[in-house]
C-alpha cells in the first residue's frame, strides 16, 4: 500500500497508541495527537522505542497533527468527542476521518451500548464535519492485542462502514497494516449503529473467558 501520513487524535490512550504502533510498523508516517504536546511526545517516544529504524512517528498537539495528516483517526472517549471534533473542524476539512469510537456505558450488569443522538459516534462526527469524509473502522480491535507484539492480528477482521466509497476503500486497505488483509466492507456509515455497541458484547465475552476477543467474518 502507498504510505500515508496518519494522525491519531487522542493517540496517547491505549487504542491510539496501539493503532499508531501498527500503522508505523507497516510503513505509514504517524502523528500521535494529544491535547498536550508533552504527552504526545512521550507517547510517540514510547512507541518509537518498539519500532524498527526508519519508522516515522512523532507527537504533536491534536490540531497540528490533524492539520498535517491525510487521514485522521479519532481515538478519543465518546465523552468529549463532540467538543474535540468541532474544535478540529478546520484541520479535518478535506480529510478522511476514521472513527473507532465506541459509545459504551458500564453498570453493575456490565457493559452496554449507549443510545446516541444522531445514531452513532461516527454519524455524529460526519454531521459535525461536513467537509470531511467519515469512515467507521477498528472498533473491535483490542488495544491489548494491538500492543502485545508485532505479529499481524490475522485471526481478526476489521469491519469498515462509510458513505464515501473511495474513502471506505482506502480505510479497508489501511486495515492490512493491522490484520494482514483488507478490511471487510460492512456497508453504509449508519452501520456504525450496530458496530459500535457490538464492542459491549466483546467486553462481556472477555470478562467471562478472560481473553481479548475479536471479530472474524466467515463465508466471504
Ligand X SMILES: NC(=O)c1ccc[n+]([C@@H]2O[C@H](COP(=O)([O-])OP(=O)(O)OC[C@H]3O[C@@H](n4cnc5c(N)ncnc54)[C@H](OP(=O)(O)O)[C@@H]3O)[C@@H](O)[C@H]2O)c1
Interface residues toward ligand X, by CB under 6 A: 10, 12-16, 34-36, 39, 75-80, 84, 100-102, 139, 141-143
- CB half-sphere exposure, 152, CA atoms < 13 A: 15
CB nearer to ligand X: give 16 or 183: 16
3 state SS of 72:
strand
CB nearer to ligand X: give 13 or 182: 13
CB nearer to ligand X: give 29 or 142: 142
CB of 26 to ligand X, least distance (A): 18
CB nearer to ligand X: give 53 or 107: 107
Helix axes 121-128, 192-209, angle to 10 degrees: 140
Q: Is the dihedral of CA 97, 16, 181, 204 positive or negative?
A: negative
CB of 193 to ligand X, least distance (A): 15
In what order do the strands lie in the sheet containing 159-162? 56-61, 29-34, 5-9, 71-74, 96-99, 133-136, 159-162, 184-187
CB of 69 to ligand X, least distance (A): 16
CB atoms within 10 A of CB 185: 17
CB of 146 to ligand X, least distance (A): 8
Amino acid at each position: 500500500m502507498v504510505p500515508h501520513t496518519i494522525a491519531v487524535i487522542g493517540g496517547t490512550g491505549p487504542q491510539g497508541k496501539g493503532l499508531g504502533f501498527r500503522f508505523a510498523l507497516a510503513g505509514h508516517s504517524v502523528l500521535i495527537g494529544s491535547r498536550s504536546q508533552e504527552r504526545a511526545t512521550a507517547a510517540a517516544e514510547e512507541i518509537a522505542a518498539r519500532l524498527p529504524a526508519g519508522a516515522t512517528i512523532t507527537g504533536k498537539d491534536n490540531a497540528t497533527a490533524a492539520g498535517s495528516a491525510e487521514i485522521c483517526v479519532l481515538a478519543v472517549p465518546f465523552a468529549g468527542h463532540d467538543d474535540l471534533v468541532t474544535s478540529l473542524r478546520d484541520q479535518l476539512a478535506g480529510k478522511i476521518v476514521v472513527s473507532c469510537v465506541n459509545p459504551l456505558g458500564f453498570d453493575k450488569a456490565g457493559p452496554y451500548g449507549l443510545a446516541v443522538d444522531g445514531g452513532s459516534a461516527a454519524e455524529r462526527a460526519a454531521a459535525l464535519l461536513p467537509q470531511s469524509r467519515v469512515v467507521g473502522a477498528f472498533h473491535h480491535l483490542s488495544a491489548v492485542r494491538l500492543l502485545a507484539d508485532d505479529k499481524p492480528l490475522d485471526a481478526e477482521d476489521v469491519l469498515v462502514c462509510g458513505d464515501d466509497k473511495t474513502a471506505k476503500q482506502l480505510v479497508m486497505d489501511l486495515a492490512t497494516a493491522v490484520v494482514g488483509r483488507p478490511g471487510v466492507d460492512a456497508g453504509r456509515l449508519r452501520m456504525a449503529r450496530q458496530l459500535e455497541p457490538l464492542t459491549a458484547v466483546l467486553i462481556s465475552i472477555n470478562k467471562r473467558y478472560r481473553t481479548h476477543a475479536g471479530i472474524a467474518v466467515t463465508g466471504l
